[in-house]
Amino acid sequence: MSLVQRPKPIANWFLPGILSGMGLTFSKLFWNLVTYVGGNRRIPTLNYPEEKYEYSPRFKGNHVLTVKKDGSLRCTACMLCATNCPADCITIVAAEHNDPTVEKYPISYQIDVLRCVFCGFCEEACPVDAIRMGPEWQTPGLNGASFNYDIMQLAYRPQLKGGIASVVDEKERHEAGI
Amino acid sequence: MSTNTIPCTINGKDVEVKEGSTIIEAMKANGVEIAHYCWHPGLSVAGVCRMCMVEIEGNPRLQIACNTQVVKGMKINNTSDKVKDAVKWTLDFHLINHPLDCPICDQAGECGLQDQYMHYGKYEPEMAEAKVKKHKVVDLGPRVVLDSERCILCSRCVRFTDEVSKTNELGIFNRGDRADISTFPGKPLDNNYSMNTVDICPVGALTSKDFRFRQRAWLLKEHQTVCTGCSTGCSTKVFFNKEGLFRVKPVYNEQVNGHWMCDIGRDVYKFVNKEARLFDAKVSGKGTGAGNGLGAEWILPKRAALKVGETLRANKGKGVALVLTGQHTVEEYDALLGFFKNDLGSDRVFHWVNTVGGGPESLEAFDGLLLRGDRNPNTAGLKESLQKFGIKTQWKELLEGLASGAITTVVVAGPENQTFFPDFKAKVVELSKAPRLIWLTAGKNLDLDNLTGDVTLIPLKSYLEKSGTFVNHAGLRQKIAKGLTIVPNALSLTEVAELFAGREIEAAESCSSIGVGRVQNEATTVRGSL
């Protein structure tokens, strides 16, 4: 049930509304000017890009595909992330790996990041800690195509310095008899 | 088999069951759910999985339902706590050595273990020992891959090769937790029914090489149809999503195929996929926009058919011949024959008989199980329609007509599945002697593309895109329904006949499409060109 609040007839008298709104704006302007001059800043806005905001470590930014200890992709191409994705922005093409202990791996993993809503459902669906949401959010591109991230961008971009290691290790699991 | 029924009680409900049936059959017949792995209605009883435990009144211990016959007045229960507990811990035993491969396992989503764990299991595993490691990715034959770690030794596949295909390639080797499904040295699993073992495998131990890793089971939709691979006409379902068709599986049909289908029939989806299809009508030769035989004009199929119909009717059917193959539905034959007979008054209709196995005697070949030498779904239907319209022609009359110049225009309702037409190229050469050739085809073909002269190619719908009737070798009429759209502008022969006669056709009703609608990441190809 939603409560609909219809505008009261007083709302037709728009002049009081304008005046109260302008009053708020000018009082903020006045106090901001006074405090700015006084050096005691209380303005919530930042002078981007000179000043940057520190986000919490749980911030959901650009995706990272984690790697195994040998540097190869952790992803097994199970497509649970693509199934779970509400924006339908993940495209995976699976293939057979030469190594029978690996068996299945993605030859193509693409995220259409302009379609992505950064909900983090892919991260939650992943059974092997292969995809994580990283801290980056300033990712400009020259044209639309540069927002369709592939494996090179997702797992091996320069900022990741050779890749982020996954916590799930197949060999350890294998030796532990799982 | 006696048809007498006997009374018994299943879960407190009094029912009548067939005399001589086992408890599991009685339960299935009455719609009672029961856990099972090794029992399959099409195979013999093995009784190895011990999952189908039931409690029988007056019996101190639980019994397996698959190997116990129902007797008069038997009181059976499979909902008691004792049964539930037994099933749960039997499942734990099955899963002792089963690897956690679900993310990479093709069976995930349609797996017996997953389903039954969620239904009957949900226990905390009490096994402290490490799992026994076995062979992974074992190549059993040209079409099947084995993962012996995932196998729960239900022996369904072994019984299948023993009882149904009677080829005996598979066996269980070693004992205890080292037991392993495998083939004998130098004898791969290579029979025409090998993929049925993949279907009946309740886990992901046997997987199909063709389907392996291409899609996940839950991303596919299914559509029930009739196999067009031969004149047996097995009931099948095709699995598809917007990227295309991926596999074919059998559907139980007591009258035709039972539980099985052959491997040849599983390949028939390939010629329907959009990579293999003709999308627009191609008009080449004199008088086309492309010039004098130098190129071709691609136009809407509907327009091409109307144009062809105009010239056919202008000549009053003089010198027109029609070639039909046994790959279309009865309704289509009737419509097209009706146009030729009634509107054009032409009797020159010819049946293009294809023989895969060599001579005409191979048409009668039968492998004893399902596959027949006549690789057309509707030869019987075509013969029926030809008889109905009183057409008795020989192929050599067509050749004589072409040689003497009596036949100037040939309309060919070409095969959908060109792989079953080994003489396709020869027939193209033969028929292209006609001054004017109109070839209706579902699939692309290089031989047809290379034809110069006055040639019109019109794309046809495949068997998944139209409704109709197929008549199988035994005269059984089976309806097929339209399930999906692959080539949006393609025509069925009925529509072609309507357009030839100069009548408008109704717009197609919408249904799920392949390659139409939003494709993943489609926008980026456009964005990339900024």
Q: Select the residue of B104, B133, B214 nearest A78 (Cβ to Cβ).
A: B104
Q: Say whether both A167 and A107 belong to one domain.
A: yes
Residue A51 lies inside a defined structural domain of this protein: no
- As a whole number of angstroms, the distance between CA B409 and CA B455 comes to 10
The pLDDT score that the predictor gives to residue B2 is 53
Does B530 score more than 50 pLDDT?
no
* Interface touch A144/B218, C-beta < 8 Å: no
pLDDT over 90 (residue A92): yes
Is the confidence at residue B328, as pLDDT, over 90?
Answer: yes
If asked whether residues A36 and A73 sit together in one domain, one would say no
| pLDDT for the residue A45 | 77
Q: Is residue A120 part of a domain?
A: yes
Nearest CB to A110; choose among B214, B521, B526 = B521
Structure confidence at residue B70 as a pLDDT band (50, 70, 90):
very high
CATH number for position A167: 3.30.70.3270
Average pLDDT of span B489-514: 82
pLDDT mean over A160-166 = 88
Residue A50 counted as domain residue? no
Closest by CA to B277, choosing from B72, B484, B477, is: B484
pLDDT of residue A26: 96
Note whether A33 and A85 are same-domain residues.
Answer: no
Tell me, what's the pLDDT at A40?
65
Size of interface A-B (CB pairs under 8 A): 74
Q: What confidence tier does A142 reach under pLDDT thresholds 50, 70, 90?
A: confident
| Over residues A107-114, mean pLDDT | 93
- A125 with A82, same domain: the answer is yes
The mean per-residue pLDDT over the stretch B318-342 comes to: 92
Q: Do A69 and A146 belong to one domain?
A: yes
Question: Taking residues B267-282, what's their average pLDDT?
Answer: 90
Q: What percent of chain A has pLDDT over 90?
A: 46
CB contact under 8 A, B216 and A148: no
Residues A103 and A32 in one domain: no
Q: Indicate whether A157 and A127 sit together in one domain.
A: yes
Residue B273 distance to chain A (closest CA, Å): 18
Subunit contact B527:A89, Cβ cutoff 8 A: no
A34: enclosing H helix or E strand: helix A14-38
What CA–CA distance (Å, rounded) separates B278 from B272? 10
3-state secondary structure of A46: coil
Mean pLDDT over the full length of chain B: 88
- Say whether pLDDT at B27 is over 90: yes
Residue A106 sits in which domain range? 63-175
A170 burial type by CB count under 10 A (0-12 exposed, 13-18 middle, 19+ buried): middle
The letter for the amino acid at B3 is T
**pLDDT at A7 exceeding the cut of 90:** no
Using the structure block, give the residue that is written with the tokens 């109709």: B468
Which band of pLDDT confidence, cut at 50, 70 and 90, is reported for residue B464?
very high
- Residue A142 within a domain: yes
Asked if A86 and A146 sit in the same domain, the reply is: yes
* pLDDT tens figures, B226-252: 999 999 999 999 999 888 899 999 999
- Here the tokens at position A136 are 């980056």
Cross-chain Cβ contact A104/B133 below 8 Å: no
Tens of pLDDT, residue by residue over B354-406, are 888 777 778 888 988 999 999 999 999 999 999 999 988 889 899 999 999 89
Asked whether the beta carbons of B24 and B140 are under 8 A apart, the reply is: no
Dist CA A130 CA B425 (whole Å): 51
Q: Closest partner residue to A144 among B104, B520, B527, by Cβ?
A: B527
Residues ≥6 apart with Cβ < 8 Å to A19? none
**Residue whose pair of structure tokens reads 């072409």 in the numeric block:** B402
Say which residues have a Cβ less than 8 Å from residue A20's Cβ, sequence separation at least 6: none
A70 and A19 part of one domain = no
pLDDT at position A19, please? 95
Nearest-Cα distance to chain B for A69, in Å, is: 20
pLDDT at residue B334 in the model: 95
Q: Is the backbone peptide bond immediately before A49 cis, with ω within 30 degrees of 0?
A: yes
pTM of the predicted model, to two decimals? Answer: 0.87
Q: What percent of chain B has pLDDT over 90?
A: 63
**A56 falls within a domain:** no
Show residues of chain B in contact with A104, CB under 8 Å.
104, 213
Look at A78 and B103 and tell me if their CB atoms are within 8 Å: yes
pLDDT at B256 over 90: yes
A82 and A132 in a single domain? The answer is: yes
Is A112 within 8 Å of B100 when comparing Cβ atoms?
no
Model confidence over B101-119: pLDDT tens digits? 898 999 999 998 999 999 8
ipTM given for this complex: 0.81
Do A76 and A33 belong to one domain? no
Number of domains in chain A: 2
Residue A145 located in a structural domain: yes
Mean pLDDT of B317-330: 91
pLDDT > 80? residue B512 = no
Q: What domains sit in chain B, N to C, each tagged with a CATH number? A: 5-94 (3.10.20.740), 129-219 (3.30.70.20), 276-500 (3.40.50.740)
Does B525 have pLDDT greater than 80? Answer: no
Contact A94 B129 (CB under 8 A): no
Residues 6+ apart with CB under 8 A from B435: B408, B409, B453, B454
A90 interaction partners in chain B (CB closer than 8 Å):
520
Say whether both A100 and A168 belong to one domain: yes
